[in-house]
Amino acid sequence: MRYKGYTGLLLKADLSDGTIEAIPLSEQLAEDYIGGVGLAAALIHETVMPGTDPFDEGNPLIFMTGPLTGTIVPWSGRHCVATISPLTGIWGEAYAGGTWGRELKRAGFDGIVIIGKATRPVYLKIINQEVTIEDAASLRGKDTRETEKILRQDCGENVKVAAIGKAGENLVRFAAIIHDGAAARTAARCGVGAVMGSKNLKAIAVRGDWNVAVAEKERLMTSIRAALPALVKDPEHCAEKARAVFTMFVNDGRHAINNWRDSCLEGFNEAVLSEIESHVRQSRPYQCAGCPTGCVESNERAGVRQNVWESIAPLGSQSGIKDMHCVQKAYDICNRHGIDTISAGGTLSFAMECFESGLISEKDTDGIRLTFGNGEALLAMLEKICRREGFGAVLAEGARRAAQIIGSGAEKFAIEVKGLEVPAHDPRAHNFLALAYATDPRGAIHTGAADPKVEGFDLMDMASIRFDAERAPAMVARGQDYACILNSLALCAFSHAGYAQYYSAVGFPGITATEVVSWLNLATGMEQDFTSLMKAGEKIFNLKHLINLRRGLDSSSDGLHERFVTVKKNYGPAAEHLPPVANMVADYYRIRGWEADGNMTPEKAAELGLTISDEG
């Protein structure tokens, strides 16, 4: 590998026969797919057959860093986890920050490809390219914090741990992978933890002592210094930054109320802002590897991660709950047992609406009164989901499958896209968001499109064009392609969002694609420009789309739940708005160069260097 920033090796572990292999990473793959999600998509497209079940031994679980991970580039402490999702049956990807991705690079690997299934619980131990498969029978049933503590005792205090809890062991279809123990840096979405559990893989413990070389260190350092904001660590400054973000969220009506059915939960807004104030006053920011600024979503108290927006809303208002102490307890359960808070909240609120509508009763729910606002019921059922116990086994299937099991029209209460429950950002609030949810290869994802911030509508105020249906298709396609770049490098999206950074000065907008292109070239020695990178992003996005087409997905999946297109929010600046999703999807297909039915045209495939002959 002539490019710097890469180790040039991928680790392949077959848990069925116990073989471990270091595979060279070709320069061509690096040029075409960069790293991170790009490389993961290329590997999955190449190796996974159309009919492969997500729990089959042949479905790979891939952990992938990018060429900037572990380097001196700021905001680069992230990695991708990709697989075929057991929740949706299609393409799945999730991301985690923290320290684990950097440690994997320092241990000498760009990524890990895990196939097969162990006959007993095991964990992978990786110390500076020395890899062993170890017995994990004593870790069975341990939560993620206990697992990390034990592995640090057994493998060395400096080891970094990715682990599943009970939810992953029990194949809860929205189980997550937790990194860094109580700090809970979570690869949450798409059920990646369930795939890890299906392979009898409890954890991956990594330690690396090698620095990641870059091509032009001095020039890179000069560019980084020029781009970094002034840092202000005063608590009042941090409080101001946090208040601004969360006040915008609640005033915008981003959060769901009672399974996206209602408009307002009295006292919730005030409870959120009080919780955020306590983060600043009583907690401390957690900074992922390489992060100079921190972010308002990342706080810890006594080493334990505190509520984030995607716990506050899904486990709070979406279930009719405004008690932030209860929500923190629910968040702790999710992090200890390894479960996605968004899907957990979406599935629980679905069940609550089924209960209040008479589709299920206490006879079905193990005597639990699963009503909106009942915090004790939410906590009890969360535990049951993670153990797959009683009615929890039904909800462990996710909202879509649970609705099919319950029947009696329960599907109308299962709020999901492509089988993936909806994040805490109401798509009725913005046409851009509505279309991004409808067309993301995973389903409803709020981070699937990013703003390069270099020209044209990149520079427009998003709030001012929230109802613009004409611009939205081009904006979403461009944003999705750019997000593929960030997720292949892999850079944190908050690098571009100065408003959400704790320590950056007020008014700092974040970095732009200009810095990203420069840093990639200086780190690796490549000669990319914005146009060539965006073409790579387009190729990666289309490759994920082809994976879904091969698995039988069609245009009928590119839409929103009927509640979002027929029932008005009646709150906030988008109170009367309903997104015209069908029209925007049609324009989006045209801009993408796809057929009217969502299939890719041969011309577009040829342009991108992709093959579609075997996709049907």
Task: Look at the block and give the residue holding tokens 């009763």.
Answer: 361
| SS3 at position 322 | coil
User: In whole angstroms, what is the distance from residue 347 CA to residue 532 CA?
Assistant: 41
Task: For the chain, list the domains and their CATH numbers.
Answer: 9-207 (3.60.9.10), 230-421 (1.10.569.10), 430-608 (1.10.599.10)
Task: Give the pair of three-digit tokens for residue 427.
Answer: 């798509």
* Side-chain-facing half-sphere of 398: CA atoms under 13 Å: 28
Angle between helices 472-489 and 513-524 in degrees, nearest 10? 30
Question: Rounded mean pLDDT of the chain?
Answer: 96
Give tens-digit pLDDT for 399-416. 999 999 999 999 999 999
- For the chain, report the end-to-end CA distance as a whole number of angstroms: 35
DSSP string of 62-79, one letter each residue = EEE--TTTTSSSTT---E
Residue 63 dihedral angles phi and psi, to the nearest 5°: -105, 125
407: left (phi over 0), alpha (psi -120 to 50) or beta: left
| SS3 at position 351 | helix
Give the pLDDT confidence score for residue 463 in this predicted structure.
82
What pairs with residue 178 in β-bridges?
163, 186
* Res. 615 pLDDT band, cuts 50 70 90: very low
Give tens-digit pLDDT for 187-209. 999 999 999 999 999 999 999 99
Q: Are 249 and 307 in contact (CB under 8 A)?
A: no
* Res. 459 pLDDT band, cuts 50 70 90: confident
Residue 266 dihedral angles phi and psi, to the nearest 5°: -55, 130
Residue 422 dihedral angles phi and psi, to the nearest 5°: -90, 135
Give the pLDDT confidence score for residue 14 in this predicted structure.
98
Answer whether residue 160 shows pLDDT above 70. Answer: yes
Give the pLDDT confidence score for residue 616 in this predicted structure.
41
DSSP string of 177-227, one letter each residue = EEESGGG-EEE-GGGHHHHHHHTTEEEEEEE--PPPP-S-HHHHHHHHHHH
Give the pLDDT confidence score for residue 456 in this predicted structure.
78
Residue type at position 356? E
Give tens-digit pLDDT for 301-314. 999 999 999 999 99
Give tens-digit pLDDT for 37-74. 999 999 999 999 999 999 999 999 999 999 999 999 99
Element (H, E) at 158: none
Give tens-digit pLDDT for 115-128. 999 999 999 999 99
Helix residue ranges, H only, 338-398: 341-356, 375-387, 391-395
* Alpha-carbon Rg for the chain in angstroms: 22
Proportion of the chain above pLDDT 70, given as a percent: 99
- Distant-in-sequence, close-in-space partners of 524: CB < 8 Å, separation ≥ 6: 3, 4, 5, 6, 67, 214, 215
Give the pLDDT confidence score for residue 613 in this predicted structure.
58
pTM of the model: 0.97
Give tens-digit pLDDT for 232-272. 999 999 999 999 999 999 999 999 999 999 999 999 999 99
